[in-house]
Structure 1
């Protein structure tokens, strides 16, 4: 059974124990939206409210703030992997998905720069693994001789360094400008839905 959002955009609370997977997905979506608007230090209560669940439900799925952020990052990486593995995937299309995540998530930018020595998530063993998964997904859709073959993650780091601004729209504009400066064509900037 699918719950529909109420007039104020929130999902109705108390969907029962059989709604666990839906609650988790709603929490990850809400966390991405809250983090994009207010940063990683936004109150967890705001995430629960946006998802239409109580804080107890949030803590049943995620024991702490880092676990919530990790779930958002994992979903970002999965979308990029799915986009790269999709039939007919193109480098521009996958870079469009990557760029959407860069514009939506400052934490995702930090992940791509994970080196094990600095940043909120670098202390976690998964940060390096997730960054390497992004690189493998991107490399998997590059044809031989593509201009990014040798310096792929350097280009991603350069673009992510340009992704600044108060809104996702501003950050997306700057990312696309950076890709253009590098001479790279990016497809539609959107999440992967498939």
Structure 2
């Protein structure tokens, strides 16, 4: 008769491994199903119980902040790059990530609604401002382009992404929408 080996509860020793598994699973689940995907799906994909998930991340927003910390880190790295072309790379990355994973924008919207002190818009403004100034000084973008224009364009991208049912050709649709204003550099 075969023996089944019971799973041993490693308790605190498994905490770091569980956290990594939860973050990896959440990244995948949010990308596939959106920010409002059931957290039970995240726990199941991570191979942990919901209690473990909630011990690490008591709220959906805390989980999403942890998942998307790497986005902010990537944006900050591009923002601090002194190359005048950094603005185009930053903008392309923001658009690509919005197309690939709208959950990031949904997280920011949820944070703005539920946490009046959330500074995501200001943080984004601070990220875009310096590389935009360098691109303007180098003559790489239309001289009329402002940070507010970039933020409005990001809202347009989000709107196109969430309202497009057929994901085929989505990037081209986003590019066409952005070309309407004519102020931003074309997407690569």
TM exceeding 0.5: yes
Aligned equivalent of 1:70? 65
Which one of 131, 146, 149 corresponds to residue 146 of structure 2? 149
Moved more, 132-141 or 176-185: 176-185
TM-score by length of 2: 0.68
Q: Report if the CA contact (8 A) 2:161-2:170 is conserved.
A: yes
Aligned equivalent of 1:124? 115
Spell out, residue by residue over 1:97-146, the C-alpha distance to the aligned partner (whole angstroms, 9 max, x if none).
2112212333433466x5xxxx574121453x122111211122112353
Say how many residue pairs are matched.
Answer: 170
* Higher relative contact order, chain-length normalized (CA < 8 Å, sep 6+): 1
Distance verdict in 2 for CA 1:131–1:185, change over 3 Å: same
Mapped to 2, the partners of 1:167 and 1:33 lie a distance apart of 20
Which one of 109, 123, 138 corresponds to residue 133 of structure 1? 123
Secondary structure of residue in 2 paired with 1:41: coil
- Structure 1: runs of 5 or more not aligned: 1-13, 189-194
Return the index of the structure with the highest Cα Rg: 2
Mapped to 2, the partners of 1:87 and 1:168 lie a distance apart of 35
- Structure 2: runs of 5 or more not aligned: 1-8
Say which structure is richer in helix: 2
Q: Report if the CA contact (8 A) 1:37-1:167 is conserved.
A: no
Distance verdict in 2 for CA 1:43–1:66, change over 3 Å: same
Mapped to 2, the partners of 1:187 and 1:29 lie a distance apart of 28
Mapped to 2, the partners of 1:19 and 1:172 lie a distance apart of 41
TM-score by length of 1: 0.66
After TM superposition, the structure 1 = structure 2 runs for residues 29-108 of structure 1, keeping only pairs within 5 Å, are: 29-86=24-81, 88=83, 90-108=86-104
Q: CA RMSD in A?
A: 3.4
Distance verdict in 2 for CA 1:41–1:152, change over 3 Å: closer
